[in-house]
Amino acid sequence: MTIFTEGNLQIAIPDGVSARKFDEPATHGLTHCMKAVDFIVELNDRFIFIEFKDPADPQSIQEKKEEFIQRFQDGKIDEDLKYKYRDSFLYEWASGRLNKPIFYFVLIAIEALDDAQLLARTDALRKKLPQTGPASGQWQRPIVNGCAVFNLKAWNETFPNYPVKRIKTT
């Protein structure tokens, strides 16, 4: 297993799976003008772009947990998530690496978020990216094949082979 850390969260990636931390200045090189997802995982049949948000970790976000939750519930955090995906997509496309379907998964490490809130944020993010493209059907392929927003519990239930845990309890 390979362990990656983002703030107070760690994700374990199984051996044999290609993954990299993407939002580091040394890795990305354009953080001054482009946003970046935290991790990119490459599987045989797809890419997975992963973004972690952990408002309980004061070092990972510059606003109070309550303010973050309000922005999340109001849908304002969707703008940031949209640009993280789009800029990462553009960066990887320009690098010639996007030859497989891409899925975008966001972990919001707030245990109080229920399934309805996660589904609402997933639907909003799907529309902002946009997952299906224009109504005219002009796109020959999607820019994202799927996206979802998870809390920590839902993430670990959905992706048992990619467990995430807190390093320290807050």
The reported pTM is 0.91
pLDDT of residue 46: 96
Can the peptide bond before residue 130 be classed as cis, meaning omega within 30 degrees of 0? yes
pLDDT tens for each residue of 11-44: 999 999 999 999 887 777 777 778 999 999 999 9
- Which two three-digit tokens encode residue 60? 């990972």
> Residue 48, Cα to own-chain centre: how many angstroms?
8
Q: Please provide the average confidence, as pLDDT, over all residues in the chain.
A: 88
pLDDT tens for each residue of 42-67: 999 999 999 999 887 766 555 577 78
Structurally, how many domains does the chain consist of?
1
pLDDT of residue 106: 97
Expressed in angstroms, the distance from the first to the final Cα of the chain is 25
pLDDT tens for each residue of 115-154: 998 999 999 999 999 887 788 888 888 899 999 999 999 9
pLDDT of residue 82: 95
pLDDT of residue 74: 81
Query: What's the rounded Cα separation, in Å, for the pair 140 and 143?
Result: 10
H or E segment to which residue 116 belongs = helix 115-128
Burial track 82-100 (b if 16+ CB lie within 10 A, e otherwise): bebbbbbbebbeeeeebee
2: β partners: 13
The residue range of the domain holding 88 is 2-166
pLDDT tens for each residue of 67-109: 877 787 787 889 999 999 999 999 999 999 899 999 999 999 8
pLDDT of residue 7: 86
